[in-house]
């Protein structure tokens, strides 16, 4: 194999490995490990300006990505905030269902069938079932 062909071979291998590092396929890439994987010396790598520049850019990009990644404690704080928000939304949802149940009770008192109204006006079947159950609960509570 000619010298120029060998040079092209290790350069293409080095650029491929740097691309893999940028994509996250390779977790850590140093000049030493790159030299070992391409079977050339570190000084040979450093003499190639493009390889040196690409490796430096890839490492800098990896450092920025690692710094931008949220810490675990930040993630846990975010989870707690989302859980609190979910609880608030569920409470609002329960209040709305109670208000609808009271509204349907008034429909019933006005000789209108609230289950027919809820089933025909709700596109979400689970919501219609929950409304019907809430109406029945109100009706049972009224009978007692």
Q: pLDDT per residue over 57-105, tens digit each? A: 888 887 766 666 556 666 777 888 889 999 999 998 888 888 777 877 7
Task: Return the pLDDT at 29.
Answer: 83
Whether 120 shows a pLDDT value over 70: the answer reads no
* Count of residues making up the chain: 144
Rounded Cα distance, 31 and 56, in Å: 10
Q: Would you state the pLDDT for residue 44?
A: 87
Indicate if 64 and 92 belong to the same structural domain.
Answer: no
Domain with 23, as residue range(s), is 3-68
Question: How many domains is the chain partitioned into structurally?
Answer: 2
Residues 100 and 50 in one domain: no
């Amino acid at each position: 194999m000619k010298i120029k062909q060998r040079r092209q071979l290790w350069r293409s291998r080095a650029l491929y490995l740097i691309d893999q590092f940028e994509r996250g396929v390779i977790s850590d890439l140093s000049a030493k490990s790159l030299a070992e994987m391409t079977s050339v010396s570190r000084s040979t790598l450093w003499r190639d300006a493009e390889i040196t520049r690409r490796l430096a850019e890839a490492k800098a990009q990896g450092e920025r990505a690692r710094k931008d990644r949220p810490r675990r404690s930040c993630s846990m704080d975010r989870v707690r905030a989302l859980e609190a928000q979910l609880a608030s939304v569920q409470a609002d949802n329960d209040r709305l269902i109670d208000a609808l149940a009271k509204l349907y009770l008034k429909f019933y008192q006005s000789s209108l069938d609230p289950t027919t109204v809820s089933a025909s006006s709700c596109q979400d079947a689970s919501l219609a079932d929950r409304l019907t159950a809430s109406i029945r609960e109100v009706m049972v509570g009224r009978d007692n």
